[in-house]
Amino acid sequence: MMLKNKIALVTGGSQGIGKAISEKLCAAGAAVAIAALDDEALKRASAEFQSRGLKFKAYGVDLCDDAQLDSLVKSIVRDLPR
């Protein structure tokens, strides 16, 4: 599956299944927005992804907060153009 010029948002993407999904999406060519509440896990995942040259952007966000969710979507559109 090739996802070049596609943007994927993975919530909980800094660890576990979400991280594995993020890695696969990056490998398939997508620009991946990783959203997570755990800042430390997000920093670790970001460092790992960056060292591997993956195309991603990390966002620390509480998805239960509507204002943060709205801001997240706007940031993704701005930061990860297709």
* Averaged pLDDT for residues 69-79: 96
Per-residue pLDDT at 57? 96
The CATH number given to 7-75 is 3.40.50.150
Other CB atoms within 10 A of residue 79 CB: 12
Per-residue pLDDT at 81? 78
Q: What are the structural domain ranges in the chain?
A: 7-75
pTM of the complete model: 0.89
For 75, residues 6+ apart whose C-beta sits below 8 A from its C-beta are 59
Side chain identity, residue 18: G
Give 7-61 pLDDT, tens digit per residue: 999 999 999 999 999 999 999 999 999 999 999 999 999 999 999 998 899 999 9
Flag whether pLDDT at 1 surpasses 90.
Answer: no
